[in-house]
Structure 1
Amino acid sequence: MGKKTSFRDLKDLLDLREGEIDELNMELAEKEEKIAKYSRYITKLKHENELMEIKLNNEVSNEKAKIKELDDLAEKIKEKEAIIDDKQEQVKYLRELINDYREQIKETTENLELQLRKIAKTYDGLIEQKDRIIEKQDKSIEELNKTIEEIRKTNKTSMINLDLQNKKYQKMVDDLQNK
């Protein structure tokens, strides 16, 4: 999995794998049903085979026909057993495939959980950093407000002094003009 794979992509992959597992489980159920059907059929054929053997013993005149029939049944049984063996191999393969998918899903889930923990840790760190920045900004704003207030006071004092000096000079100018 690439580092750039998003959580959504991983979730979609997980959903896809679960769908594939469901399909494989359905196929597995169908194969097992066929195996059970063939097993019943084989049991039936074996039972028929036994009945044929009894008839052979009782009917000497039809012996050759019965032997051929038994051989055919034995051949069918062998064919069905070969089919069952093949189906069992398919079931075994499908089970291995399902186990592989389960392992992949487990690994993907563990990987996602690890990534989510890392994201949560990074997010917590960013929140703390944001809080520290806001705290610093609040302190800076408070200091600027104090500085502005001091400048206002200083300016007000300077204005009053300048006004007083202006009045004083004006009075001096008036006194000089009146003389």
Structure 2
Amino acid sequence: MSKQSFRDLKNEIELKNAEIDELSMELQDKTEQINKLKLYSTKLKYENKNLEDKLDTKIDYDKARMNELDDLSEKLKEKDLIIEDKQDQVKYLRSLIDDYKEQVRSNTENLEVQLRKISKTYEKLLEQKDMIIEKQDEQISNLIKSNEEIIKSNKTNVISLKLQNEKYQDIIDELTKTN
């Protein structure tokens, strides 16, 4: 080997060494970039894990809220059913009250009609009583008159009988004297 070739080789080795140094620097840069990217990746993984945990927590919270909302929805449905039942009861009671009011109104009307009938009947009975009293008064008056006439007639008869008795007494006396 000649000197020239040795130099060329040496130059070439230096060139190769320079290339190696350059490639080593590039490799070191790449390694640093890889390390930075690894750190960034780790940071992103950590943030991702935190976000996943937050998301899981949020999902669990949302599930719990959904369950609460479902429970509340069920309770609302139950309350709605209770309210509907109470409304039906109120409607039923109102219909009973309306029926009762109608019965009371009907009974009141019937009682008023009966009261009018009773009042008319009572008036007729009072009229009959008055008529009976008048007839009785008239009969009593007639009986008193009849009694007075009988008394007068009796007095007259008694007087007539006394007179006749006296007359007969006189006749008896005369006959007894003459005998």
Question: What are structure 2's unaligned runs of at least 5 residues?
Answer: 1-57
* Residue in 2 that maps onto 1:75: 74
> CA 1:74–1:158 in structure 2 vs 1: closer, same or farther (change >3 Å)?
closer
* Residue in 1 that maps onto 2:106: 107
RMSD: 2.1
Could you tell me how far 1:161 is from its partner in structure 2? 2.2
Higher mean C-alpha displacement, 123-132 vs 72-81:
72-81
Q: Distance in 2 between matches of 1:110 and 1:129?
A: 28
| TM, length-normalised to structure 1 | 0.61
Instruction: Please list, as runs of the form range in 1=range in 2, the aligned pairs for 1:6-155 lying within 5 A after superposition.
Output: 59=58, 62-155=61-154
Q: Distance in 2 between matches of 1:163 and 1:79?
A: 118
Q: Which amino acid aligns with 1:125?
A: K
The number of equivalent residue pairs is 122
Q: Which amino acid aligns with 1:132?
A: M
Q: Which amino acid aligns with 2:112?
A: E
Q: Distance in 2 between matches of 1:148 and 1:65?
A: 117
Q: Which amino acid aligns with 1:65?
A: A
Could you tell me how far 1:84 is from its partner in structure 2? 1.3
> CA 1:139–1:70 in structure 2 vs 1: closer, same or farther (change >3 Å)?
same
Q: Distance in 2 between matches of 1:69 and 1:92?
A: 34
SS at match of 2:97: helix
Q: Distance in 1 between matches of 2:169 and 2:66?
A: 148
* Residue in 1 that maps onto 2:12: none
Q: Distance in 2 between matches of 1:111 and 1:67?
A: 64
Larger Rg: 2
Q: Which amino acid aligns with 2:129?
A: K
Question: What are structure 1's unaligned runs of at least 5 residues?
Answer: 1-58
Q: Which amino acid aligns with 1:107?
A: S
Could you tell me how far 1:61 is from its partner in structure 2? 5.8
Q: Distance in 1 between matches of 2:145 and 2:168?
A: 34
> CA 1:167–1:63 in structure 2 vs 1: closer, same or farther (change >3 Å)?
closer
SS at match of 2:171: helix
* Residue in 2 that maps onto 1:161: 160
> CA 1:75–1:173 in structure 2 vs 1: closer, same or farther (change >3 Å)?
closer
Could you tell me how far 1:127 is from its partner in structure 2? 0.8
| TM, length-normalised to structure 2 | 0.61
